[in-house]
A and B are shown apart, each in its own frame.
Chain A
């Protein structure tokens, strides 16, 4: 079920088209990756979704209905450019930001208490923000983003500035939030975290949507038909028995006679057919398809769609 949609959204700044008829559909309870190189239009799109700016054309739908100004209350937004009032105390500031999201002071205090405990920063409640490390400030920003338990969360580069331990903490929390019913829109350049977290992605380049879909579908679509195979008791070298159209590389023979090699097929056989074929040549110890990484797909697609 689609929770959030943009339809043919365009945004033009003075001399520059930031978004050109971009339509995306974000399924409910998905973690949806919004990808694209710098300046592609991701932040413009996110700001439109948050109703910080208005689109010139197109519409936004939330649960199938056109979005109203009051709908920002069900969105939690962690912008890429984020900060806190330096001179204000941590707790006071968290309370203020939480109340701006429309929750009462009492609820805010209670929920903040729980989150502060979870992130082990309770001791900092009465300290000034300027005394905090960047990572700690990021934690507070994360907390105030999710404090009103919004149906949709938008994270723009959420992991920048975190150490690996805190990145994991945050990933766990993001997954938790999804499991508890939130739909998450997630913009990043970090492809590893996309593979780890996202169920769906969209790629924007030069103001246009290039591709959208499930991560597995995208990967399938861009598979390169490369396989890593490991065999024993081969009666011949793979290069000799394989047809010319298969390109063999990285062939290596271990001490026990195991041969590891990679083949590049052209996609005319299914993996199962390949396995049958190889089974006739010897004993298969290992067979796996080399799937493209999101990183490879990203680079390939961005280069393909480069404006001339």
Chain B
């Protein structure tokens, strides 16, 4: 037992002290935080300066209709187009909107001149104002009050509520659950491959270094294999926890330092959606706030305790199951290029899990979801997709029990291949050969 602890300690320390581990540990959260922060931050930066737009309206329809926004201001000009173009060039204003007198009655064309490319924001705002005004006028011409239309516009909002067996109700918001499920499934998939192949590479290293026989004269091959698997598992957990911790710290730090800007950035986003249609502004604002409220409600309704517990459980269970197989593969080959033929059957269930997860989210309680979340080879990925939607306790218990059984089985299997494989040199191993090793 003491020796296994020594092996675990070595496996853990040599990996954790590696430069690549340290770089990954810090780079991971920075990338994660950047993914969360940068878009918001950039959005808050890009439109901070106010743009002045001159309007040359030959129709006179839009007089006073363009209102000053957060970063757009409007000025009506009345000279001819060429003079105004000169003004634009001289930098009197940032853009020139020219609405020519139409050949028919209705102005549907406009030209927007600017030195730099006009922003999407500006264009969609101009288009919306014009559209609303023209539509209103058309309605009036047909004798319909635009206010009637406005009040007739309805927004249907469906709230999904899940009834528990014991009568409780939880508001659910499918998009959040889908995102959460897929995200954790991909994370598990990624971790299993990342750390599973570390185990494999470690075994190959020991084999090609020819140190393995030195070591197994003092410890049992099984101890060496388990020590490596457990050591790498601890490395994985360390990395994961550090990532969660550091991402949190970086995010909090950023929010407290640049909190104002983020707030502003969020406002810009808010405005972006408002621009979608002035007439719907109020309704949309309502919906926007409602959406956020719903997301928050759903997030708080998901049992994060369950979520984190099952994540760690399925990560460890899935990892242990696959790491044993990876170790067996590593022991059977002489170098990494020879692993291909054995890697394929081992990776197929995992890849299948990821592919199926898109189907599972559409029907998280269907037979496909059920069976694949019970079978230990796919359950770590598929069950993580299902958990945010709520999984009956007995299914969860069955799946976990089978996963434990599964990794005990693969470990037993792997140990048999491993103890023969590590002493086999210079031999291309076939499946038939592996089958024989199982029976030694």
List chain A positions with a Cβ less than 8 A from chain B. Answer: 13-14, 47, 50, 52, 72, 75, 77-79, 81-88, 96-97, 99-102, 141, 144-145
Contact = CB atoms under 8 A, between A and B. Distances in A.
A85 B423 contact: no
20 contacts: A52-B213, A52-B217, A52-B221, A72-B218, A75-B217, A77-B217, A79-B210, A79-B213, A81-B213, A81-B425, A82-B213, A84-B209, A85-B205, A85-B206, A85-B209, A86-B209, A88-B14, A97-B215, A100-B3, A102-B3
Nearest to B218: A100
- 6 closest Cβ pairs, A-B complex: A83-B210, A77-B217, A79-B213, A83-B209, A100-B218, A81-B210
Contact of A97 (B209, B213, B214): B214
Contact of A101 (B205, B209, B218, B436): B218
Given A84-B209, A86-B209, A79 B214 contact: yes
Nearest to B14: A88
Nearest to B223: A100
A52 B423 contact: yes
B90 interface: no
Nearest to A78: B214
A161 B276 CA distance: 79
A97 B219 CA distance: 10
Contacts of B141: none
B30 interface: no
Nearest to B437: A14
A82 B212 CA distance: 8
Interface of B: 3, 6-7, 10, 14, 205-206, 209-211, 213-219, 221, 423, 425, 436, 440
A31 B6 CA distance: 33
B210 A82 contact: yes
A141 B423 CA distance: 18
A52 B423 CA distance: 10
Interface of chain B: mostly helix, strand, loop or mixed: helix
Nearest to B217: A77
A82 B14 contact: no
A13 B3 CA distance: 30
A45 to B, nearest CB: 14
B218 A102 contact: yes
A144 B214 CA distance: 9
Contact of A50 (B6, B211, B217): B217
A151 to B, nearest CB: 15
B208 to A, nearest CB: 8
A80 to B, nearest CB: 8
A97 B7 CA distance: 10
Contacts of B213: 52, 77, 79, 81-82
A99 B423 CA distance: 23
Contact of B216 (A52, A83, A96): A52
B210 A100 contact: no
Contact of B217 (A14, A72, A86, A87): A72
B211 A84 contact: yes
Nearest to A145: B214
Nearest to A99: B6
A98 to B, nearest CB: 10
Contacts of A82: 210-211, 213-214
A96 B206 CA distance: 15
Given A82-B213, A83-B210, A88-B14, A96 B6 contact: yes
Nearest to B224: A100
Q: Which of A52, A87, A97, A101: most chain B CB closer than 10 A?
A: A52
B219 A100 contact: yes
A141 B211 CA distance: 10
Contact of A96 (B10, B209, B425, B436): B10
Given A14-B436, A81-B425, A85-B209, A141 B214 contact: yes
Q: Which of A47, A50, A81, A145: most chain B CB closer than 10 A?
A: A81
A100 B214 CA distance: 10
A204 B28 CA distance: 58
A83 B210 CA distance: 5
A13 B210 CA distance: 22
B214 A83 contact: yes
Q: Which of B214, B221, B440: most chain A CB closer than 10 A?
A: B214
B425 A100 contact: no
Contacts of A79: 210, 213-214, 217
Given A52-B221, A86-B209, A88-B14, 12 more contacts: A52-B213, A52-B423, A77-B213, A77-B217, A79-B214, A82-B211, A83-B211, A84-B209, A85-B14, A85-B206, A85-B211, A99-B6
A169 to B, nearest CB: 20
A152 to B, nearest CB: 12
Contacts of A86: 209
Nearest to A12: B440
Nearest to B433: A14
Nearest to A105: B6
A211 to B, nearest CB: 28
Contacts of A141: 214
Contacts of B215: 97, 100
A233 to B, nearest CB: 63
A79 B217 CA distance: 9
Contacts of B205: 85
Contacts of B423: 47, 52
B163 to A, nearest CB: 58
B439 to A, nearest CB: 9
Contact of A100 (B6, B14, B436): B6
Contacts of A83: 209-211, 214
Contacts of B206: 85
B429 to A, nearest CB: 13
A72 B217 CA distance: 7
A22 B217 CA distance: 21
Contacts of B7: 100
B355 to A, nearest CB: 37
Contacts of A52: 213, 216-217, 221, 423
A78 B436 CA distance: 28
Q: Which of A82, A85, A87, A100: most chain B CB closer than 10 A?
A: A100
A158 to B, nearest CB: 13
A83 B211 CA distance: 4
A60 to B, nearest CB: 15
B424 to A, nearest CB: 11
